[in-house]
Structure 1
């Protein structure tokens, strides 16, 4: 058995903290911090996932109003021990080329495209954690027969949990967090035309 690289050893007995992610240049791309534990995306990314995230990013950037930025694969500092990296987010924070994370109060929408290795985190852990952090909108996109199906959640402020706001196939039209009108099948280039 080979020894762990030094950078994988927590810097303190309590484990990792959110600010530690900015000091791990050797860590694999897409490293997240969930409850003080580093989570690595180790399986290869599927083309379906990448194309869908690219198509969705482009579509939301085109529809986002002035003052809303759409970012891909940026972490959110939910608390001192959690910095998940959603596939996509929409934020009211102004663009900053040196930014490495967003505060939850600046995030309007988080989107996770479910992969087999991330399914439990996306459907359960992140659903709970994003709600606890007060992020008002969460979309969890699943693959169904090669097509995207979007499970949309809105934060119920009195309870602090997400309430299902619909399951969308084909078209996704929402008035919040801004006016969104998406042809879900058209997000995948091989499905266009």
Structure 2
């Protein structure tokens, strides 16, 4: 077994801190921090996953009113030990070319597209962490034989937990965080 590169060793006993991600240029793209541990997206991304993210981001950006930004490949600094990177996010933050993360109070919607290696984190871990951080809307997208199924959650403020508000197939219409109307079937070409 070969030794780990020096940059992979946590800088302290408590593990990694959120700000450490900005000082790890050697880390692979899509490195997240979950509970003080680095999580690398090492498995190859499926074409379905990649195309869905691109098409969804384009659709949301086209519908977003002034004051909303749609991004991907950006982390959210939830706290000292957690800085996940959702697949798509909608924020109320003004564009800043030097920004490397958002804070929960700037995020209005987080979208995770489930892949085999991220399924547990997307369905349970991130669901709880985003709710605890107060992010108002969470969508989890599952692949149902090539078609996207969007599991929509809204934050119940007093309990800081998400309440399921529907599973959308074919079409997704939502009044929050802004008026959204998406032809889900049109986001991904059908399997041949």
TM-score normalised to the size of structure 1? Answer: 0.98
The residue matched to 2:60 in structure 1 has which SS? helix
- Structure 2 match to 1:175: 175
Q: Distance in 1 between matches of 2:48 and 2:13?
A: 40
Aligned positions of 1:1-193 closer than 5 A: 1-188=1-188, 190-191=189-190
Query: Once the 2 structures are TM-superposed, how far is the Cα of residue 145 of structure 1 from its aligned partner?
Result: 1.1
* Runs (5+) with no aligned partner, structure 1: none
In the TM superposition, what whole-angstrom CA distance separates every residue of 1:109-147 from its partner, at most 9, and x where no partner exists?
000000000000000000000000000000000000110
- Deviation, structure 1 residue 183: 0.3
Q: Structure 1: how far apart are the matches of 2:156 and 2:91?
A: 19
Cα-Cα RMSD:
0.5
**TM-score, structure 2 length as denominator?**
0.98
- Partner deviation per Cα, 1:88-107 (whole Å, 9 max, x = no partner): 00000000011100000000
**How far apart, CA to CA, are the structure 2 residues paired with 1:66 and 1:175?**
16
Query: Structure 1 runs of 4+ off > 3 angstroms?
Result: none
CA shift, 1:72, in A, is: 0.7
Provide Cα deviations, 1:18-76, integer angstroms capped at 9, x if missing partner: 00000000000000000100000010000000000000000000000101000011000
The number of residue pairs the alignment matches comes to 190
